[in-house]
């Protein structure tokens, strides 16, 4: 169509989001959070090892049900995604948790995701033979890492102006992300071969909310056990960063890894549902988690 998503979305939109992230992320906070190694290990291992493995085991049980197999494959792609740059940080900040740790893990997880997520997708789902790993890595590197680094460099020179003017970075990223989501939905419903039955869709929505709640509870239990060295503020960052998944990086990555797949649109649906679900659930839980954190700190 006239939007030319194969150029504007694949390259320009994704690069714009990560350049924007590079401008908005405070370098000092990222470097100060660097030393909290135990927290970082917990978040990254849970997100990129435990999460996809647990989903894979769960899907072995669901494979005998009449749920659409491509939506189930989409659930597996959700498990393979890295943490998001925005939502986990925003919710951690709203509660009053360890925002610096949330920022570091979100950014660091995105960097790890460039290498690990395609490998996980190839491991659990396979890929079209026409897209070699070198192409995946080079495209993701040019559209994610390079804009993020350039954004950080530019921030160094216009830091005072950014602090004074406070540009609406969140609104800009949201607008670009909305464009990515729109074109993905267009791909989904423009394909006449898509067979999206209501039963499968309703079940997938229920599973996504259940998985989100279960994993939030699990990370909460692990990070608050007696021999844990995490503070209540650390726990807040862990709960959100470990269970949230990136749509910003996820949709472009799926478009690259599964280029040419007839059912790419269906595979994308669970991730498109998971993203608003994590924001909705997180927002609803903010008052409860905040009161818990305050009482623990007292």
Structure tokens at 263: 């059912």
What secondary structure letter does DSSP report for 151? H
pLDDT in tens, 212-232: 999 999 999 998 887 778 888
Question: In this structure, what is the dihedral angle of CA atoms 169, 275, 5, 81, given to the nearest 10 degrees?
Answer: 100
Closest CA to 244 of 59, 75, 51: 51
pTM here? 0.74
Domain-located, residue 297: no
Instruction: Decide if 110 contacts 88 (C-beta within 8 A).
Output: no
Q: In the prediction, which pLDDT does 185 show?
A: 64
Q: In the prediction, which pLDDT does 175 show?
A: 73
Structure tokens at 62: 């669901």
Task: Give the CATH number for residue 89.
Answer: 1.20.1530.20
Domain-located, residue 193: yes
Tell me the residue length of the chain. 298
Structure tokens at 171: 């609104």
The residue range of the domain holding 279 is 5-292
Domain count along the chain: 1
Domain-located, residue 298: no
Domain-located, residue 146: yes
Domain-located, residue 54: yes
Residue ranges in the chain modelled with pLDDT below 70: 1-11, 21, 25-34, 85-86, 127-137, 139-140, 169-170, 173-174, 177-178, 180-181, 183-185, 187-196, 259-260
């Amino acid at each position: 169509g006239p939007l030319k998503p194969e150029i504007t979305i694949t390259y320009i939109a994704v690069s714009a989001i990560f350049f924007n992230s590079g401008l908005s992320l405070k370098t000092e906070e990222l470097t100060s959070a660097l030393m909290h190694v135990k927290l970082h290990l917990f978040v990254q291992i849970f997100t990129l090892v435990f999460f996809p493995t647990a989903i894979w085991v769960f899907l072995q049980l669901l494979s005998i049900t009449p749920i659409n197999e491509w939506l189930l494959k989409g659930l597996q792609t959700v498990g393979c995604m890295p943490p998001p740059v925005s939502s986990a940080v925003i919710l951690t900040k709203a509660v009053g948790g360890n925002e610096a740790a949330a920022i570091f893990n979100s950014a660091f997880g995105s960097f790890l995701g460039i290498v690990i997520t395609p490998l996980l997708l190839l491991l659990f789902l396979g890929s079209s033979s026409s897209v070699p790993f070198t192409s995946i890595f080079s495209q993701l590197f040019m559209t994610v890492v390079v804009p993020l680094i350039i954004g950080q460099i530019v921030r160094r020179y216009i830091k005072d102006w950014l602090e004074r003017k406070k540009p609406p970075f969140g609104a800009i990223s949201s607008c670009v992300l909305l464009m990515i989501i729109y074109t993905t939905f267009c791909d989904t419903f423009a394909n006449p071969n898509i067979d999206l039955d209501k039963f499968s869709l309703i079940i997938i929505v229920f599973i996504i909310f259940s998985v989100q709640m279960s994993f939030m509870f699990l990370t909460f239990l692990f990070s608050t056990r007696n021999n844990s060295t995490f503070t209540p503020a650390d726990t807040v960052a862990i709960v959100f960063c470990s269970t949230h998944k990136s749509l910003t990086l996820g949709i472009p990555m799926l478009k690259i890894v599964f280029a040419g797949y007839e059912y790419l649109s269906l595979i994308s649906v669970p991730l498109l549902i998971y993203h608003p679900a994590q924001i909705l659930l997180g927002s609803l839980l903010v008052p409860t988690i905040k009161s818990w954190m305050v009482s623990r700190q007292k």
